[in-house]
């Protein structure tokens, strides 16, 4: 606390990201990173740009990357916004689109950065409880609101919402923006980008951090009709002209050119996930059906936090949230097959 702080700062409750341990001999299944390296084409593109041109500012509009994303998803470049990780894109959405004169709605169990953004931008919100199976029920959102946001698949549950339910939400609130945060969509979901051209109130957000193995270079993007993208551009250009650096710009763009590598990595993760789900179900875990690169699971006879601590003793880190309704669950990132085998062996020891 300090007399010099803005009033806002006193009331902020900052987000706490998953631990980034500085030692190397851990099996790190706590922050939903991809266990496979980025495409060699990405590393080659970055190497090529590591030169004297770093003295120059990057393109403030990141046109190369917008074009790559637009081409990949069959959209126009004015339907694409890019930012320094999808967290920055989300922040601009909250400030530029979701701050309205009625409360924002999102699920009670969801990405824990959402209430932090509401605090940062003084946005009124209401949380809508998921049902007992951790599902979003469209009818529960039939109320006055300033907008809706949810991850799909949801985090930390991993559960996927089908496109027809998203369509229902879009049609329920045609004058409000619905943001679908698709950080994990490439691990088995169907993207709502397919609905953008019909729905002026839909914004879809994705990231290169998970399915494209690029958490280290911080690139996220949004796709929506041009009038929604313009709001984000106006906020971005009032905040930071050059959020995407030269190396991230070229590396991220190259990632969209290596479709085979991308599909292969996603398929391997899906397959490892199915192995893990089977093994944990056999051990008596309740596992929420996951379309993400993580699973959310609970054991009827063993406290979740205890399991997390016991895994940590075995040098395996997973994420535990000490929060209502989910304090008996663990969120476990899907690793390589070898990491998965080590995890299964450790869980067998712990559950006994």
231 binds a second copy (CB under 8 A): yes
Residues in 291-350 at the binding interface with a second copy, rule: CB under 8 A = none
Are the beta carbons of 213 and 78 closer than 8 angstroms?
A: no
The footprint of a second copy on residues 195-224 (CB under 8 A) is 200-201, 209, 213-218
Q: What angle do CA 71, 75, 81 make, to 5 degrees?
A: 95
- Considering only residues 34 through 93, tell me which ones interact with a second copy, judged by CB under 8 A: 34-38, 42-43, 46-47, 50-60, 84-85, 87-88, 91
- Least separation, in Å, of the C-beta of 227 and a second copy? 4
Sheet holding 286-287, edge to edge: 286-287, 294-298, 329-333, 319-320
State the nearest-atom distance from the C-beta of 164 to a second copy, in Å.
Answer: 23
Closer CB to a second copy, residue 43 or residue 338? 43
Piece in contact with a second copy (CB under 8 A), picked from 133-141, 184-192, 238-246, 327-335? 238-246
Residue 186, classed as helix, strand or coil, is: helix
182 binds a second copy per the rule CB under 8 A: no
The smaller minimum CB distance to a second copy, of residues 75 and 116, is found at 116
| One residue of 78, 230, 303, 305 binding a second copy per CB under 8 A | 230
H helix intervals, the chain: 7-11, 40-49, 63-73, 86-93, 114-121, 163-172, 226-236, 246-255, 259-282, 304-313, 337-351
Q: What is the Cα–Cα distance from 244 to 83, expressed in whole angstroms?
A: 6
Q: Would you say 287 and 347 are in contact if contact means Cβ atoms under 8 Å apart?
A: no
**Choices 102-110, 113-121, 294-302, 333-341 (CB under 8 A): range interacting with a second copy:** 113-121
Tell me the site size for a second copy, rule CB under 8 A. Answer: 86
Q: Which of 2, 25, 301, 322 is close enough to bind a second copy by CB under 8 A? A: 2
**For the chain, how are helix, strand and coil distributed in percent, rounded to 5?**
45, 15, 40
267 near a second copy (CB under 8 A): no
- Judged by beta carbon, residue 73 or residue 199, the one nearer a second copy is 199
Name which position in 76, 242, 275, 314 contacts a second copy (CB under 8 A).
242
* Rounded (5°) CA angle 187-231-244: 60
């Amino acid at each position: 606390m300090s007399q010099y702080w803005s009033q806002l700062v006193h009331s902020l409750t900052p987000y706490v990201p998953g631990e980034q341990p500085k030692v190397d001999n851990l099996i790190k299944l706590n922050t939903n990173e991809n266990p496979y390296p980025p495409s060699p084409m990405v590393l080659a593109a970055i190497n090529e740009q590591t030169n004297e041109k770093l003295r120059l500012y990057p393109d403030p509009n990141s046109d190369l990357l917008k074009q790559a994303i637009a081409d990949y998803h069959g959209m126009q470049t004015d339907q694409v916004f890019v930012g320094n990780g999808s967290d920055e894109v989300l922040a601009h959405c909250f400030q530029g689109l979701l701050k309205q004169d009625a409360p924002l709605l999102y699920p009670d169990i969801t990405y824990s950065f959402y209430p932090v953004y509401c605090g940062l931008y003084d946005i009124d919100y209401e949380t809508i409880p998921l049902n007992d199976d951790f599902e979003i029920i469209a009818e529960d959102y039939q109320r006055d609101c300033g907008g809706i946001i949810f991850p799909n698949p949801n985090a930390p549950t991993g559960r996927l919402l089908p496109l027809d339910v998203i369509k229902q939400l879009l049609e329920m609130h045609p004058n409000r923006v619905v943001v679908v945060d698709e950080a994990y969509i490439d691990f088995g979901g169907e993207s709502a980008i397919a609905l953008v051209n019909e729905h002026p109130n839909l914004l879809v957000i994705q990231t290169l951090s998970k399915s494209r193995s690029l958490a280290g270079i911080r690139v996220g993007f949004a796709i929506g009709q041009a009038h929604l993208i313009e709001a984000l551009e106006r906020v971005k250009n009032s905040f930071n002209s050059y959020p995407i650096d030269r190396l991230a710009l070229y590396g991220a763009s190259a990632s969209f050119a290596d479709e085979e590598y991308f599909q292969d990595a996603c398929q391997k993760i899906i397959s490892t996930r199915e192995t893990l789900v089977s093994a944990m179900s056999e051990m008596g875990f309740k596992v929420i059906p996951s379309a993400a690169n993580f699973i959310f699971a609970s054991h009827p006879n063993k406290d979740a936090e205890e399991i997390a601590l016991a895994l940590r003793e075995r040098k395996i880190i997973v994420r535990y949230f000490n929060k209502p309704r989910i304090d008996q669950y663990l969120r476990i990132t899907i690793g390589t097959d070898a990491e998965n085998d080590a995890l299964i062996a450790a869980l067998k020891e712990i559950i006994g």
